[in-house]
Amino acid sequence: MQSRTSYERWNGLAVVGALLVVGGVGWFVARELQFDPFGAVANAGWPFFVIIPGVILLTSSLIPKPPQGVGLAIAGTIVTAVGTVLLYQQTTGHWASWAYAWALVGPGAAGLGMAVYGLIFRQRDLVLVGARLVAIGAAIFVAGYWFFETVFATGRAPVDLGTWWPIVMVAIGIAALVAGFAGREHGTNDGASPSDAQGGAR
């Protein structure tokens, strides 16, 4: 356990060191070429100051021993998604889209990072959980786009909430019940497998 902890600590230091070396060398080369990276990014659009660190985090997630880099992958996709949404909003001026675009950042980007990391390193559980989060984020985004864009365009909700909100509550409740029972059954089956295997071994 102690050797593993030491390995993880030194591995993390190696990642930080590699990033500092690459950054320092890149900055030195840019200075010698009289190239201003901050000015170039600012001219391209200030959201790139958010996107670039996200890409760096994503790249860094491939360095630690799996699955220790999954946190960096999730953080990287979240930061990159925030920067991408900001770039779209800065280009179009459609800042009100945050009313539903947050779903791309919250469950959506986090799940995408988890799923991609799982695919790269063949972590099936990460792929399944990540895909589920992506699906949830996409569903929220589509529903939010339909609802809020209608409100933005007409000034009125697309449905009469006073009439339909009880039905919506019932539908959400049924979905939660189905998900809860399905998850409990899956957990029970997983928990029974080791004991069944031991019983068979005896």
89 and 111, same domain (yes or no):
yes
Task: Let me know if residue 28 belongs to a domain.
Answer: no
177 and 148, same domain (yes or no):
no
Instruction: Take residue 137 and report the two structure tokens written for it.
Output: 């984020």
57 and 79, same domain (yes or no):
yes
Structural domains in the chain (count): 2
Residues 133 and 114: their CA atoms lie apart, in Å, by 9
Task: Let me know if residue 83 belongs to a domain.
Answer: yes
104 and 182, same domain (yes or no):
no
6-10, 20-24, 98-102, 158-162: the lowest-pLDDT one = 6-10
Closest CA to 135 of 103, 99, 115, 108: 108
Q: Name the percent of the chain lying above pLDDT 90.
A: 16
At 136-178, the pLDDT tens digits run 889 889 888 888 888 877 777 666 666 666 776 787 778 777 7
142 and 119, same domain (yes or no):
yes
Residue 122 structural domain:
36-158
> Per-residue pLDDT for 109 more than 90?
yes
